[in-house]
Amino acid sequence: GTAEAAEKVSYRLKWLFNMSVAGDIYADVHQFFARQGLKVTIKEGGPERDAIRELELGRAQFGVASADQVIRAVSKGATVVVIAQLFQVNPLQWMYRTDRMKIERLGDLKGHTLGVTFGGNDEAILKTLLAKANLTENDVTLFSVRYDYTPFFKKKVNFWPVYRNTQAVFLGQKLRQAGEDFAFFNPADHGVRFVANSVVTSKTMLEKRPDTVRKFTVALLRGWQAAMDQANAQKTIKTLQQYDRDSTLETLQEQLDITRRLIHPKASIPVGEIDVAAWKQTEKIMLDQRQIPGPVNVERYLKAIPEY
Amino acid sequence: MYLAAQGLALKYPNTANYVFKNLSFKLAEPGFNALFGPSGVGKTSLAKIITGEIHTFSGDIRSKGMQTCLYSYNLERLPGWSSVGKHLEKITPPARRSRRDELISVFGLEELIGKRFSRLSLGQQNRVNLLRYLLQDFHLLIMDESLANVDELTREKIILKIKDMYPEAYFLYISHNVVEVSKLCNEIIVLRGGLKEPSATVVPGRNFMTGQEMERAELEQTMLEIVNASS
Amino acid sequence: MYLAAQGLALKYPNTANYVFKNLSFKLAEPGFNALFGPSGVGKTSLAKIITGEIHTFSGDIRSKGMQTCLYSYNLERLPGWSSVGKHLEKITPPARRSRRDELISVFGLEELIGKRFSRLSLGQQNRVNLLRYLLQDFHLLIMDESLANVDELTREKIILKIKDMYPEAYFLYISHNVVEVSKLCNEIIVLRGGLKEPSATVVPGRNFMTGQEMERAELEQTMLEIVNASS
Amino acid sequence: MLLHRRIYQFFIIYLLAVAFLFLIKYGLDLSDYVIPGPVDVWHTGTREFSRYFSDVMNTMMVAVIGQVISIFLALLVGITGRQATWIGSFTKAAAYNVQAYPIVALAPIIFILLGDGIISRLLIAAMICYFPLLLSVIGIMSEPISDIEHFYRVTGRMRWQLEVKIRAFENMNKLTTVVAGSATLAMAGTIVAEFIAANAGIGYSIRIALFQSDLAKILIALFLIGITLSVYQGLLEVIGYLIEKGWAAK
Amino acid sequence: MLLHRRIYQFFIIYLLAVAFLFLIKYGLDLSDYVIPGPVDVWHTGTREFSRYFSDVMNTMMVAVIGQVISIFLALLVGITGRQATWIGSFTKAAAYNVQAYPIVALAPIIFILLGDGIISRLLIAAMICYFPLLLSVIGIMSEPISDIEHFYRVTGRMRWQLEVKIRAFENMNKLTTVVAGSATLAMAGTIVAEFIAANAGIGYSIRIALFQSDLAKILIALFLIGITLSVYQGLLEVIGYLIEKGWAAK
Ligand SMILES: Nc1ncnc2c1ncn2[C@@H]1O[C@H](COP(=O)(O)OP(=O)(O)OP(=O)(O)O)[C@@H](O)[C@H]1O
Ligand SMILES: Nc1ncnc2c1ncn2[C@@H]1O[C@H](COP(=O)(O)OP(=O)(O)OP(=O)(O)O)[C@@H](O)[C@H]1O
Ligand SMILES: [Mg+2]
Ligand SMILES: [Mg+2]
């Protein structure tokens, strides 16, 4: 730290405190921000939260947003920039009962009832997958997914969108207890790499306070890296337990293991690396599905992360 | 059949004085009787004691054979959704239909039965209300200023008719008109207030019936007695 | 200052008959006047025409200098949140405080001013309500059965007091008591119903004042005139 | 005339609100993503109008049925709960308790019991709408009108139907106010139900628009909801007025 | 005594509801992840009790403030809207319209304008709770009590304050019923606000429990909400009773 008073910034998360924000919390609790001379207020996200709006309204200086949010915002003239990509693999995947369906190729989806959140990212992803497999919507039955899991529990639907590293762990535990077998369907395995959560800031921030942005990014990514380090597993879980009091230790451990594979799948790729090709594919998917009126060249809004 | 009160005393909570104290009377025979006395003396209160609406009195009230005591008063209303005639239709036991029609005519209500109650004049409302009570079963009917807003001629006609029609019933008529009660009532229970003992005296009335001759001097005598009794 | 009606006619919507037709009268001098007639003849309706509450009449109603006409009736209530005394306190102009106290005593309300209105007897409520109107500014005060539930003695005392106290005001007193209006009123407007023309005749009353001698024969003459006028 | 007024008053309110939003947008120089510009809203409006309109109609239909159900429910509970007896107070307690639970927490239980589909949507709409009705009905039904009831009581003619009729008639004004007003709640309730449960209706469309952070679509949806409801409510008021007139007339 | 009754009635209702759920569970042989078993619910209860209890208290506090605000709001709008004038009817139209919009659609706009934090939570709670109050207040306030008002009107003494006082006093019973009843709505409103704004209180906890599909936790939360509310409502009723007695006494 420096002798000067710490610089204050706000950081708006995308979702509630859970394993998906482990690194963010870790960076704060273990003084990564403080060491960069920053005092960061971490604000929990939620369904009605939109970090990009808050950047513009000046209520936050940094935030987490999903790629589709970023692309949509950019297409509507928001001046947002991506400074790091947290998930290398999108945690949004499908859980399915292996005794009810076998999926090796995309074509195997044919004839099944598939859970999808209309309007959500999973819809865009699933539709892209179906198109890739030359399946039309008549070849499958799409089931609208909402808050509750009853249709999945009651086996009315056996292919259900989940966040692999959080929800899927609770559900998996329940299914295992009931003696049911399940597996996950990861779109990336079939060539669809829709980008998930990224760290964003405003263009003004980047231009007027580049140093702050750099310090923030460095601290945050060091935090994430440390949190995802196998050696720090106990420390990470302890840290998170203070914020997520609804999950058991067992749950957290399992969640951490999975999160690590999504955030830091290969030692060669640093945590936070921006996967430009995946971003381009994401933009193309949204364009194909008319979620944006025209191309935005999203790569122009991606700022390569500094060395840390 | 009789109704008797013995040593009644009533005091409302949080008030200083007794409304009445040591009040006694007895109605031993059917007839048209009055409950008389200045405003605020306790007529309504006594009526409510008789019908059992007020319990917080002391003393004794006894009756024999008088199962049904009805209390009617001048502020009652009929529901607004249909005409007076239809309401009367509903509450008239079939056996009393002709009696109803007779009463309607004596009460001067023929032209009003198609109207809503709320469109009637005050005295018309009084009459309609009293009329429906007369079509019910009762041993004793208390009429608390039930004709207060009706003109004197109509009032007398109505009371005479009631006396003719219900020779077997007991009535307790509350009114502020000395002439009327003196002339038409059998017995007049004059209330005198809680400061005087006894709180009530009973004055015999002239009990005038349809077609009878009326002696003016006698009437004035009764009126005097009543006035003396209340002071 | 006067109030004059010329050829008034009134018919309520959806009714067959005129309440009155070609009704005329004039109140040219201050005084205590009556509006008299059988129940349902149209007294309340006429009162409401005078105060402007009913507009759907034909004919002419004219007045001079009579800006403030107040209409009071016997079913009014005072709000329930404080005592009668407190309410009177609020609506009494400071200059009339002593008048208020005088009236309270004549009206026989001294012991009640600490009570809530809803706890009063009917006649007590009548009196309290009339009293508050007397403390207001008015040129004409219409009293629609305002004392209907008060005993005759108190009523007379009250009316005499009003006559003494307000020699300059106009009153229109609606009552069903022939003796009372004959004795106490200056002029009696007798309504005769819509089937007769004219619908009203004016009978001079005895206009008895406090302390005067009363000739019985004269009074009976007036009563007879009134009875004749209404039939 | 009443109807007329409701509609143009709605326009004024909506325009004021949108103008206020635009003021903020241009005042703070916000991008179209935060608050959409007029052109964006207009284009969205012309593009989505017919689709959203049919969504709103769909929702409206459910809302109307839901309202009818909740009127019955409220009358039922209100009439039972009006008595100062144990069972009356118990009914009231039960009716209140159910209401205390936020629908979002009850929804999963409802879905387990009833499955998804129209029944759940209706139930949720009715639950949101019935409570205010219930409160009014209980208030009205538990207050005796002794001037009128006295006769029936002392002559042994009082039946609960008559009691209810008397009190309802004497409070007709209050009842029609509440019934007309509860239309908005039925609508809001249905939309919430669709938002959390259904695959149809404007609530569902709103949810998708929210997923896509598309405020322009939301503004259009709000416009359509508002105008439809104004018409419906105006109609209810006119009907209420006619009923009242008809009942009181001769 | 009232309070007493409220509480044990709540227990009965809750136990009946839970028993019904278990009946379905065992009747249809549903697995523990659809409906948790009694043991699971009991364990969850003992484990989460104190945390949820403090959450509920937190929510309750906001709800109480929200209720107070909405009582004021309802009185304000109700008093303005009682008049048959244009401005009266406009106020009413505005108040109704705002209500017609489902809170889920308005929430993003509220958050843009007010940010997160207690204000938004309060606003949402108040919005959900005030409307039923408003309906009652408008119904009551727009009906003249001419027996009492006549004097003040003809003598030129009528002020709006007096008019409001007269009508409120004569309808005290109805008003206290609605105010006590609206406590449940304030609570539900606050929970919904917490649910969608996700920052604190039992609504937030419910959101997480739903995310984890943990019905046992939801049952516990419902229990705590219900019991707290029963106490609060019982207290309100006792207070209302005392006020009424105090005002009418003497
Ligand atoms: N609920 C009550 N609480 C307190 N005092 C009351 C109550 N009801 C009546 N009183 C008082 O008791 C006395 C008798 O009242 P009551 O109504 O019986 O008189 P009344 O003889 O019927 O008078 P009126 O002829 O004016 O109707 C009055 O002084 C009245 O003020
Ligand atoms: N709103 C109304 N609609 C129709 N008819 C009415 C209405 N008000 C009064 N009437 C009728 O008009 C006539 C006169 O009524 P009004 O109240 O003026 O009589 P009144 O002389 O005051 O009688 P009372 O001495 O009984 O009070 C009555 O026959 C009554 O039925
Ligand atoms: Mg009396
Ligand atoms: Mg009259």
pLDDT in tens, A293-308: 999 999 999 998 888 8
ipTM for this prediction: 0.84
Residues C96 and C124 in one domain: yes
> Which residue owns the Cα nearest ligand 1 atom 7?
C119
Contact A222, A27 (CB under 8 A): yes
> Which residue owns the Cα nearest ligand 2 atom 2?
B119
Q: Which of chain E's residues have a Cβ under 8 Å away from the Cβ of D96? A: 181, 184, 233
Residues C215 and C121 in one domain: no
Residues C131 and C143 in one domain: no
Task: Report CB contact under 8 Å: E151, C51.
Answer: no
Q: How confident is the model at residue D181 (pLDDT cuts 50, 70, 90)?
A: confident
Residue E1 token pair: 């005594």
Percent with pLDDT over 70 in chain B? 100
pLDDT value at position D248? 63
Distance from the alpha carbon of residue C119 to the mean position of ligand 1, in angstroms: 7
**B202 by DSSP, 3-state: which?**
strand
The pair phi, psi for residue E60, each rounded to 5°, is: -55, -45
The mean pLDDT of D107-129, rounded to a whole number, is 77
Residue D144 token pair: 């005796």
Measured distance CA(E158)–CA(E172) in Å, rounded: 20
Q: Which of chain E's residues have a Cβ under 8 Å away from the Cβ of A175? A: 33
Residues 6+ apart with CB under 8 A from A215: A36, A37, A38
Name the residue facing D9 among E93, E112, E184 (closest C-beta). Answer: E93
Q: Under an 8 Å CB criterion, which residues of A touch D?
A: 48, 50, 52-53, 56-57, 68-69, 72-73, 76-79, 117-120, 144, 146-148, 150-151, 291
Task: Report CB contact under 8 Å: E151, C72.
Answer: yes
Residues B57 and B4 in one domain: yes
Q: Which of chain E's residues have a Cβ under 8 Å away from the Cβ of D132? A: 131-132, 135-136, 185
Measured distance CA(B218)–CA(B226) in Å, rounded: 13
Q: Angle at the Cα of C111 (from C109 to C115), degrees rounded to 5?
A: 90
Ligand 2 pocket mutation pick from C8, C45, C56 by most atoms within 8 angstroms of CB: C45
pLDDT 10s digits, E19-68? 998 998 898 888 887 888 899 899 999 999 999 999 999 999 989 998 99
Residue carrying structure tokens 């710490």: A6
Residues B60 and B110 in one domain: no
pLDDT at residue D240 greater than cutoff 90: no
Closest chain E residue to C71 measured between Cα atoms? E154
Q: Is C213 within a domain?
A: yes
Name the residue facing A149 among E51, E208, E213 (closest C-beta). Answer: E213
Instruction: Name all domains of chain D by residue range, CATH numbers in brackets.
Output: 2-249 (1.10.3720.10)
Measured distance CA(B163)–CA(B185) in Å, rounded: 9
Residues B148 and B61 in one domain: yes
Residues 6+ apart with CB under 8 A from A211: none
Answer whether E51 touches C (CB < 8 Å). no
Residue C199 token pair: 């619908």
Q: Which of chain A's residues have a Cβ under 8 Å away from the Cβ of D31? A: 56, 73, 76-79
pLDDT at residue C162 greater than cutoff 90: yes
Fill in the DSSP letter of residue B173: E
Which of D29, D30, D31 has the highest number of chain A CBs within 10 A, making it the mutation to test binding with A?
D31
pLDDT at residue E158 greater than cutoff 60: yes
Q: How confident is the model at residue D204 (pLDDT cuts 50, 70, 90)?
A: confident
Residues C44 and C149 in one domain: yes
Measured distance CA(D107)–CA(E206) in Å, rounded: 12
D29 burial level (CB within 10 Å; 0-12, 13-18, 19+): exposed
Task: Report CB contact under 8 Å: B75, D147.
Answer: yes
Residue B27 token pair: 């109605």
Name the residue facing A76 among D33, D107, D116 (closest C-beta). Answer: D33
Q: Which of chain E's residues have a Cβ under 8 Å away from the Cβ of C136? A: 155
Q: Half-sphere exposure (CA, 13 Å, Cβ side) for A297?
A: 1
Measured distance CA(C121)–CA(B9) in Å, rounded: 17
Which of D26, D33, D121 has the highest number of chain A CBs within 10 A, making it the mutation to test binding with A?
D33
Residues B199 and B143 in one domain: yes
Q: Which residues, listed in sequence order, are joined to residue B141 by a DSSP beta bridge?
A: B70, B171
Q: Is B72 in the pocket of ligand 1 (CB under 6 A)?
A: no
Q: Provide the greatest CA pair distance for chain B.
A: 51
Evaluate the omega torsion of the peptide bond into residue C198 and state whether it is cis, within 30 degrees of 0. Answer: yes
pLDDT 10s digits, C32-76? 999 999 999 999 999 999 999 999 999 999 999 899 999 999 999
Ligand 2 pocket mutation pick from C8, C11, C12, C53 by most atoms within 8 angstroms of CB: C12
CA A36 to chain centre: 25
Residues 6+ apart with CB under 8 A from D186: D63, D64, D66, D67, D70, D125, D126, D128, D129
Closest chain E residue to D173 measured between Cα atoms? E139
DSSP H helices in A83-202? 121-132, 150-153, 167-177
Cα distances (angstroms) measured from residue B198 to each of A243, B8, B47, B188: 84, 10, 18, 15
Q: Which residues, listed in sequence order, are joined to residue A92 by a DSSP beta bridge?
A: A163
Q: Which ligand is nearest to the CA of B43?
A: 1
Residue A299 token pair: 């790569």
How crowded is residue D169: how many other Cβ atoms within 10 Å of its Cβ?
A: 17
**A160 by DSSP, 3-state: which?**
strand
Residues B99 and B144 in one domain: no
Work out how many domains chain C is built from and give that number: 2
Of A137-151, C97-111, E60-74, highest mean pLDDT: C97-111
Residue B96 token pair: 């009393």
Answer whether E31 touches A (CB < 8 Å). yes
What separation, in Å, do the N-terminal and C-terminal C-alpha atoms of chain E show? Answer: 24
Residue carrying structure tokens 């999203």: A298
Q: Is B230 within a domain?
A: no
Fill in the DSSP letter of residue C180: H
Q: Is B231 within a domain?
A: no
Atom of ligand 2 nearest to the CA of C47: 18
pLDDT at residue D35 greater than cutoff 60: yes
Residues 6+ apart with CB under 8 A from C204: C186, C187, C188, C222
Residues 6+ apart with CB under 8 A from A100: A155, A158
pLDDT value at position A219? 96
pLDDT at residue A1 greater than cutoff 50: no
Q: Is B142 within a domain?
A: yes
Contact C142, C51 (CB under 8 A): yes
> Which residue owns the Cα nearest ligand 2 atom 17?
B121
Q: Mark E22-59 as b/e (b = at least 16 C-beta within 10 Å).
A: eeebeeeebbebbbbeeeebeebbeebeeebeebbebb
Task: Indicate the range of A76-80, D52-56, E232-236 predicted with least confidence.
Answer: E232-236
Dihedral of CA E35/E40/E44/E45: which sign? positive
A6 burial level (CB within 10 Å; 0-12, 13-18, 19+): middle
Residue A269 token pair: 């790729």
Q: Which of chain D's residues have a Cβ under 8 Å away from the Cβ of B83? A: 250
Cα R_g (chain D), whole angstroms: 22
Name the residue facing B151 among C108, C127, C176 (closest C-beta). Answer: C176
Task: Report CB contact under 8 Å: E169, C76.
Answer: no
Q: Is B14 in the pocket of ligand 1 (CB under 6 A)?
A: no
Measured distance CA(C192)–CA(C198) in Å, rounded: 8
Q: Is B228 within a domain?
A: no
Residues C131 and C144 in one domain: no
Evaluate the omega torsion of the peptide bond into residue A210 and state whether it is cis, within 30 degrees of 0. Answer: no
- Which subunits sit against E, judged by 3+ Cβ pairs under 8 A? A, C, D
Q: Is B40 in the pocket of ligand 1 (CB under 6 A)?
A: yes
Q: Which of chain A's residues have a Cβ under 8 Å away from the Cβ of D117? A: none
Task: Tell me which H or E stretch contains A81.
Answer: strand A80-85
Closest chain D residue to E209 measured between Cα atoms? D105
Q: Which ligand is nearest to the CA of C36?
A: 2
CATH number of the domain to which B15 belongs: 3.40.50.300
**Cα dihedral value D230, D231, D236, D238, nearest 10:** 110
Average pLDDT, chain C: 94
Measured distance CA(B116)–CA(B88) in Å, rounded: 12
Contact D206, D218 (CB under 8 A): yes
pLDDT at residue A155 greater than cutoff 80: yes
Q: Is C123 in the pocket of ligand 1 (CB under 6 A)?
A: yes
Contact D69, D192 (CB under 8 A): no
- Spatial strand order of the sheet with A159-163 comes to A159-163, A92-97, A182-185
Regarding predicted confidence, which is higher, C214 or C184?
Answer: C184
Which one, of E100, E81, E97, lies nearest residue E89 by Cα? E81
pLDDT at residue E154 greater than cutoff 90: yes
pLDDT value at position A206? 94
Residue C68 identity (one-letter amino acid): T
Of C7-21, C144-158, E201-215, highest mean pLDDT: C144-158
Q: Is C231 within a domain?
A: no
Task: Indicate the range of A252-261, C102-111, D103-112, E57-66 predicted with least confidence.
Answer: D103-112
Tell which C residues from 152 to 211 touch B, by Cβ distance under 8 Å. Answer: 152-155, 176-179
How crowded is residue A190: how many other Cβ atoms within 10 Å of its Cβ?
A: 17
Residues 6+ apart with CB under 8 A from E6: D93, E230, E231, E233, E234, E237
Residue carrying structure tokens 């959450």: E55
Closest chain B residue to C14 measured between Cα atoms? B115
Name the residue facing E93 among D10, D112, D173 (closest C-beta). Answer: D10
Q: Is B199 within a domain?
A: yes
Which of A12, A49, A144, A291 has the highest number of chain D CBs within 10 A, making it the mutation to test binding with D?
A144
Residues B130 and B142 in one domain: no
Distance from the alpha carbon of residue C160 to the mean position of ligand 3, in angstroms: 24
Segments forming the whole domain that contains residue B131: 77-136
pLDDT value at position A4? 62
The two counts, helices (H) then strands (E), for chain B are 7, 9
pLDDT 10s digits, B31-75? 999 999 999 999 999 999 999 999 999 999 999 989 899 999 999
pTM: 0.84
Q: Which of chain E's residues have a Cβ under 8 Å away from the Cβ of D6? A: 93
Q: Which residues, listed in sequence order, are joined to residue B6 by a DSSP beta bridge?
A: B60
Atom of ligand 1 nearest to the CA of C120: 31
Q: Is B175 within a domain?
A: yes
Which of A69, A148, A286, A292 has the highest number of chain D CBs within 10 A, making it the mutation to test binding with D?
A148
Which one, of A121, A90, A265, lies nearest residue A191 by Cα? A90
Residues B2 and B36 in one domain: yes
Q: Angle at the Cα of C162 (from C158 to C168), degrees rounded to 5?
A: 170
Name the residue facing E105 among D108, D178, D206 (closest C-beta). Answer: D206
Residues with CB under 5 A from ligand 4 (ion): B 121-122; C 44
